[in-house]
């Protein structure tokens, strides 16, 4: 499920990577291609004067299914079908145009205690009914960029839009309209010594409208306005026919990247990214109850040595995210005495909630080239540290996991270069190093929902499992185009730690799909199949 989220977010923020992702592509290099100016920088950097125009049409299907513990706000099963088209058109001195668009539809099954889409962006301030269910969705995305060279400088402009409509066809029926609009400016310079430096800055605006309402006449239920650790606004969490809410995120970031000359045996590539998000909520009566400020720093680096017939690369990518949540204090005042009409105004706010999430992915890769073929071995580890606190009630949750992995891959091309096979296997094991759950709701006058909204995500991350990942790609080239297929899948098998169980009584009994109180299995299966045509 984490993978699903990363896929979605990457398609929002990241501009088109037109070429198929093969294992010998430098991951950092691909990340750089998120900006339009990359294409013109790249041509000069690689001293490539040829027309880089290309296009690709891809049809894909993915399915991700869990068994046992799952992230309740994301659901138990996600599947989608997608068709996408992308292309780069090189207009020579007029610049380079790139674009991509896709349409996808699918379903998330078994969502629980969350009526939002992309909940990670808004946590802990989500809104929910206590029924849950399946959410169907359709997604539209368009991205475009234009870049032009001026001397040794390169300038680019990118635009992307992703919009999703999600809905539930059982009561209470949820409708989510979510959009992400991104603008990005980028520039780069290739120095005489072959090194390149690139800068980019972006702004993203997100809006999510949520409408959750009963279709069945006369039916009412409690809708929870949650603010973390199982806490919810008791006044706003009303028993009603339905609720609606608007979420807004203003997001800005900047990135600097460096590429050393490709002509040397020893190369260094590095990216430093800073990202800031401000999220705020708005209720249907225009009260703004909550907001968050999220800062993310993402340093990434790749050091490589290109020997005769072999490569050695050391990668390191890290994301450090810190979020603070603010709860507004509002005052009710009379606006019209004759009609007993009242309104609200904000008088203060308080900051209690904090969340930090650090993911660091480090690996060492050795690749051997035999003719046109390549065999690679990779050894690495992912470190995940997530921590949530509420200073007002002294609540704290922490998970620290380490996932060492080993990967091998193989690329084979037929002598006439008409066919290419890529095969890769990866094994990893998540080890829980440290976990801590310190949440005790003391107010017994209200139903407790900490198990559903707080313990459940904690339990998901408090697991140890083995994961096996396999990738396969086959491409057949014709004179003017090539066709191919790609398969990517993984299987996760493990268990929640035996001491991670909920020993209290679960409050607010509901029909939502839910994890068990006691330790349970932690299994997941994922497959992504695609066929493509490249021009």
Partner 1 sequence: MVFIVFECASQNCNFNIKGVIKTEDGFAGFATVGIEDLNIYTMADEGGRFELRRIPCGNHKLLVKRMGLTDKYIDINLINKDLNLEIEMQTATFKLERVEVMAKRHKADKLEIGETAIEYLQPVSLADLAVLLPGNVYSENPMTQFNLNSSRQVGSDKNTSLGIAVTSDGVPQTSDGVRIQMVGITENSYSGGGDSQIKARTGINSGTDMRYISTDHVQSVEVNRGISSSKYGNMSAGQIIVNSKYGVSPLRVRAKIDLKNKLIYAGKGFSLGKKAGDLHIGTDYLYSYDDIREEMEKFTRITAQAYYNNKVNFNSGYSLDLDFKLAQTISVNKMKKDELTYEYNETYKADYNKTDLMLKAKLNFNLPWIENISLISSLNRVNDLIDRHYCVITGNPKSMPLSYSEGENEGYYLPTMYYSDFYIENIPINFYTQLNIKSRLELAQNLNLTLEYGADFSSSKNRGGGAVIKDEKLPPFPSDNSYMRPQKNYEIPAIETGAAYIQSSLLYKPTENQKAKIDFGYRFTQMMNLESDYALYHKILCEPRLNASYTIGKTINHTVRLGYGTENKLPTMDYLYPEKIYKDFWVLNAYTNNPENRHLITYTKIFDATNKDIRENKNQKFEVGYDLNINNFEISLTAFYEKSESGYDYFKFYQAVTYPYFSELKPDVDISGRRPDKEDYVEDKFSEFASYSQVQNSKKVIKRGIEYRIISPKVSVLETNVEINGAYYYTIYGSSLPYYFYPGGRIGNNMYPYVGIYNLDEKNKQGRLNTNFWFNTHIPKFRMVFTNFFQFIWIQTKQYSDNFEGIYKKIPYEYIDFENQKHEVTPEIAQRINDLNDTQWSQLRRQSTVLSYAKETKPVYMMWNIKVTKEFGDNAKLSFFVDGILDIHPQYASKTSARTKREWSNPFFGMELILNIAKNREK
Binding site for partner 1 (CB under 8 A): 85, 89, 91, 94, 97, 99, 101, 103, 138, 140, 142, 144, 161, 163, 165, 167-171, 173, 175, 177, 179, 181, 205, 207, 209, 215-216, 244, 246, 282, 285-286, 335-336, 338-339, 341-344
For residue 110, what are the contacts with CB-CB under 8 A and spacing of at least 6?
A: 70, 75, 76, 77, 132, 133, 134, 513
What's the rounded Cα separation, in Å, for the pair 437 and 451?
Answer: 11
Cβ 330 to partner 1, closest distance in Å? 11
| Closest CB to partner 1 among residues 209, 366 | 209
What's the rounded Cα separation, in Å, for the pair 117 and 487?
Answer: 27
- Name the residue among 513, 468, 496, 451 with its Cα closest to residue 76: 513
| Closest CB to partner 1 among residues 142, 303 | 142
Cβ 344 to partner 1, closest distance in Å? 7
* Length of the chain counted residue by residue: 535
Cβ 368 to partner 1, closest distance in Å? 41
- Name the residue among 488, 478, 475 with its Cα closest to residue 532: 475
| Closest CB to partner 1 among residues 149, 168 | 168
- 236: exposed, middle or buried (Cβ count in 10 Å: 0-12, 13-18, 19+): middle
| Closest CB to partner 1 among residues 169, 531 | 169
Cβ 215 to partner 1, closest distance in Å? 6
Cβ 477 to partner 1, closest distance in Å? 22
The number of helices, as runs of H, and strands, as runs of E, in the chain is 5, 22
What's the rounded Cα separation, in Å, for the pair 126 and 112?
Answer: 12
Kindly state the DSSP code that residue 76 receives in the 8-state scheme: S
Cβ 195 to partner 1, closest distance in Å? 32
Cβ 479 to partner 1, closest distance in Å? 18
Q: Are 454 and 229 in contact (CB under 8 A)?
A: yes
| Closest CB to partner 1 among residues 169, 394 | 169
| Closest CB to partner 1 among residues 217, 415 | 217
Provide the greatest CA pair distance for the chain: 89
Cβ 353 to partner 1, closest distance in Å? 26
On the CB side of 277, how many CA atoms lie within 13 Å of its CA? 25
Q: Are 78 and 105 in contact (CB under 8 A)?
A: no
| Closest CB to partner 1 among residues 89, 521 | 89
Cβ 532 to partner 1, closest distance in Å? 17
Q: Are strands 463-477 and 482-496 parallel, antiparallel or unpaired?
A: antiparallel
| Closest CB to partner 1 among residues 243, 441 | 243
| Closest CB to partner 1 among residues 182, 530 | 182
| Closest CB to partner 1 among residues 206, 292 | 206
- Written as six digits, the tokens of 66 are 């869990």
Rg for the chain (alpha carbons), in Å?
25
Residue with tokens 């540290």: 385
Cβ 163 to partner 1, closest distance in Å? 4
- Name the residue among 455, 439, 452 with its Cα closest to residue 496: 455
């Amino acid at each position: 499920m984490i993978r699903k989220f990363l896929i979605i977010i990457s398609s929002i923020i990241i501009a088109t990577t037109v070429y198929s992702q093969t294992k010998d592509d430098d991951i950092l290099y691909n990340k750089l291609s998120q900006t339009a100016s990359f294409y013109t920088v790249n041509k000069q950097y690689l001293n490539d004067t040829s027309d880089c125009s290309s296009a690709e049409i891809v049809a894909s299907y993915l399915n991700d299914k869990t068994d046992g513990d799952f992230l309740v706000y994301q659901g138990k099963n996600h599947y989608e079908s997608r068709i996408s088209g992308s292309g780069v058109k090189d207009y020579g001195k007029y610049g380079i145009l790139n674009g991509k668009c896709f349409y996808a539809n699918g379903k998330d099954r078994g969502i629980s205690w969350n009526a939002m889409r992309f909940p990670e962006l808004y946590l802990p301030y989500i809104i929910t009914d206590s029924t849950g269910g399946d959410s169907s969705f359709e997604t539209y995305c368009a991205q475009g960029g234009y870049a032009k060279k001026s001397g040794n400088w390169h300038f680019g402009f990118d635009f992307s839009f992703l919009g999703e409509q999600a809905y539930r066809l059982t009561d209470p029926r949820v409708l989510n309209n979510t959009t992400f609009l991104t603008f990005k400016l980028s520039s780069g310079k290739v120095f005489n010594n072959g090194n390149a430096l690139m800068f980019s800055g972006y702004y993203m605006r997100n809006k999510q409208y949520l409408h959750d309402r009963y279709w069945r006449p006369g039916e009412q239920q409690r809708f929870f306005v949650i603010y973390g650790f199982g806490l919810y606004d008791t006044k706003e969490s009303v028993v009603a026919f339905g609720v609606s809410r608007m979420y807004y995120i203003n997001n800005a970031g900047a990135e600097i990247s460096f590429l050393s000359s490709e002509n040397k045996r020893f190369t260094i590539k590095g990216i430093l990214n800073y990202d800031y998000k401000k999220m705020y909520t708005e209720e249907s009566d225009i009260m703004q109850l909550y907001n968050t400020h999220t800062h993310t720093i993402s340093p990434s680096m790749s050091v490589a040595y290109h020997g005769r017939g072999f490569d050695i690369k050391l990668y390191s990518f890290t994301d450090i995210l810190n979020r603070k949540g603010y709860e507004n204090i509002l005052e009710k005042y009379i606006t019209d005495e004759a009609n007993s009409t009242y309104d609200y105004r904000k008088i203060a706010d308080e900051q209690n909630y904090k969340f930090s999430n650090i993911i660091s992915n480090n690996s060492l890769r050795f690749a051997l080239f035999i003719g046109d073929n390549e065999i690679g071995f990779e050894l690495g580890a992912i470190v995940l540290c997530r921590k949530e606190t509420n200073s007002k009630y002294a609540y704290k949750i922490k998970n620290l996991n380490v996932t060492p992995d080993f990967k091998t891959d193989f690329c084979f091309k037929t002598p006439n270069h008409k066919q290419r096979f890529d095969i890769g296997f990866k094994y990893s094991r998540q080890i829980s190093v440290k976990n801590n759950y310190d949440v005790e709701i003391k107010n017994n006058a209200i139903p407790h929902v900490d198990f559903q909204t707080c313990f459940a995500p904690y339990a998901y991350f408090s697991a140890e499992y083995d994961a096996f990942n396999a990738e396969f790609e086959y491409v057949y080239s014709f004179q003017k185009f090539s066709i191919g297929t790609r398969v990517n899948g993984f299987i996760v098998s493990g268990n929640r730690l035996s001491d991670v169980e909920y020993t209290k009584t679960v409050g607010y009994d509901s029909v939502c799909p839910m994890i068990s109180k006691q330790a349970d299995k932690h299994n997941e299966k994922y497959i992504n199949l695609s066929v493509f045509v490249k021009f």
